[in-house]
Amino acid sequence: MKKISFFLMIACLFCLTGCGISKEKNVLKKLEKQVDSKTGYLLTAKLEIVNNDDVYNYEVTSAYKKGDYYRISLKNTANDHEQIILKNDEGIYVLTPSLKKSFKFQSDWPYNNSQIYLLQSILNDLKNDSKKEMKQEKNTYVFTSTVNYPNNRNLVKQEVTFDKDMNLKKVIVLTDQDVPKMTLNVKDIDFSPNFGKNYFDLEEIMNTANVEEEAKKSSSLDDVIYPLMLPEGTKLKSEEKVKKDSGERVILTFDGEKPFLLVEETVDQADELTIVPTMGEPYMFMDTIGALSDNSITWTSNDMEYYLVSDVMSQDELIEIASSINVLPTANLK
């Protein structure tokens, strides 16, 4: 009798496990069908990014149209500074309407790493993780899976919440210590958007952008900003300030075991649309979107442009130094 009970218990356990896997597959199939059967979508959300004690909040509009068209608007709620990631037939761009500048990338974006604001990316992360988990909580499904952020190895997993109709509600990206670093709260998803003829056209976007925040015209560098973090055995060797046609530039040279060059310069709005060829990948960098390559990182913040380059430092080290420069007071980011 005891043997029968034991085998019955094992059989029930396998049945429950199999049912769980089956339900998980059915939920994912429903989600996949929902995304693949549509010609596009328009997602609006709020994005919170945490870096040490600083919190950065964005209003996000994520648009996708079949044919490989993407338009992601990220507006910093602290200063209304908007940047747009655009992918169309001509290439991949990061647009900064307030400066009338567009940076063009040779990149595989958005397929080369996870993207918290794209349904396809979230779905691929779930499908590619054979050890993902699913929990059903009231009227929601919560998936936990690994993520792929090669430029930020602290981000290792995500929790993705869908409602009972498989509408995305929330995405949380966490460290291996379960510390949330990015949180996307979805406000709405429209699977039947009516995109205008030129919705994914670069010039149309730049010409029609509602630029509430204009770049300040600054002809001088009032304060040079130094990194708060330096590699051991590395120190400032020289500082040179030079005049530009419309402002100033300072060149900081650091020497030692991990030498690097840091350039800071004033920026203002261009007279006409300017497209700048850019090396590297679009990189979400706290209060801005920069460009990250193997040996350099470029970004614009608080009406200043920064360029950091080193022949000997890794991307992680470059980002660490850049993060110690690009610090805004927490009080201004609430």
Using CB atoms within 10 Å of the CB of residue 263, give its burial: 0 to 12 exposed, 13 to 18 middle, 19+ buried: middle
Q: What is the pTM of this model?
A: 0.85
| pLDDT score of 5 more than 90 | no
For position 144, what pLDDT does the model report? 96
Q: Which of 74, 330, 47, 333 is nearest to 183 (CA)?
A: 47
Determine the Cα–Cα distance for residues 187 and 175; give it in Å rounded to an integer. 25
Residue 308 phi/psi, 5-degree rounding, is -120, 125
pLDDT tens across 51-66, in order?
A: 877 899 999 999 999 9
Measured over the CA atoms of residue 124, residue 50, residue 276 and residue 198, the dihedral's sign is positive
Inter-residue contact 155 to 149 (CB < 8 Å): yes
CA angle, 84 then 308 then 74, to 5°: 15
* Average pLDDT over every residue of 85-100: 93
Average pLDDT over residues 119-123: 94
Task: Give 225's DSSP letter.
Answer: P
Q: Are strands 69-76 and 54-65 parallel, antiparallel or unpaired?
A: antiparallel
Residue 216, both tokens: 């300040």
Q: Does residue 142 contact residue 160 with C-beta atoms inside 8 Å? A: yes
Q: Enter the CATH code of domain 34-208.
A: 2.50.20.10
Q: Would you say 104 and 275 are in contact if contact means Cβ atoms under 8 Å apart? A: yes
pLDDT, position 244: 82
The residue type of 175 is T
Instruction: Read off the DSSP letter of residue 302.
Output: T
How large a percentage of the chain has pLDDT more than 70? 87
Asked if the model's pLDDT at residue 108 lies above 60, the reply is yes
Q: Give residues with Cβ within 8 angstroms of 112, minimum separation 6.
A: 150, 281
Q: What secondary structure letter does DSSP report for 330?
A: G
Cβ pair 333, 78 in contact under 8 A: yes
210 has a pLDDT exceeding 90: no
Alpha-carbon span 109 to 125, nearest angstrom: 15
Question: Per the structure block, which two tokens stand in for 145?
Answer: 């899976």
Cβ atoms of 113 and 151 closer than 8 Å: yes
Query: How far apart (Å, rounded) are the C-alpha atoms in residues 325 and 260?
Result: 14
Predicted local distance difference test score (pLDDT) of residue 6: 53
Distances (CA, A) of 171 to 46, 187, 207: 11, 12, 33
d(CA 131, CA 16): 17
Full 3-state SS string of 306-317: EEEECCCCCHHH
Enter the tokens of residue 255: 């020497």
Q: What would the pLDDT profile of 255-298 be if each residue is shown by its tens digit?
A: 999 999 999 998 877 778 889 999 899 998 878 899 999 999 99
Q: Domain residues of the chain, as ranges?
A: 34-208, 234-266+293-333
**Average pLDDT of the segment spanning 181-207:** 94
